[in-house]
Amino acid sequence: MTNYKPRIASVLLALLVAFLGGAAAPAVAHEAAAPITAAAECGDTSGFKKTPLDTLPKEATDTYNLIKKGGPFPFPEKDGTVFSNREGILPSCASGYYHEYTVITPGSPDRGARRIVTGSGGEFFYTADHYKTFSVIPVDGGTPSPECGDPAGLDTVKLSTLSAEAKAAVDKARGGASGTVYENREGVLPACDSGYYQLFPVGAEDRVISGKGGEIFYTPDHYSTFQFVELDS
Catalytic residues: 100, 130
Displacement of CA 173 from its chain's centroid (Å)? 34
Using DSSP's 3-state secondary structure scheme, residue 136 falls into: strand
Distance, CA of 51 to CA of 42 (rounded, Å): 20
In whole angstroms, what is the distance from residue 2 CA to residue 41 CA?
A: 74
Q: Which residue, among 112, 215, 77, has the nearest Cα to 154 in the 3D structure?
A: 215
Q: What angle do CA 96, 102, 107 make, to 5 degrees?
A: 160
33-40 — which CB contacts under 8 Å span 24+ positions? 38/92, 39/85, 39/88, 39/89, 39/90, 39/91, 39/92, 40/91, 40/92
Give the residue among 132, 153, 54, 148 at the shortest CA–CA distance from 89: 132
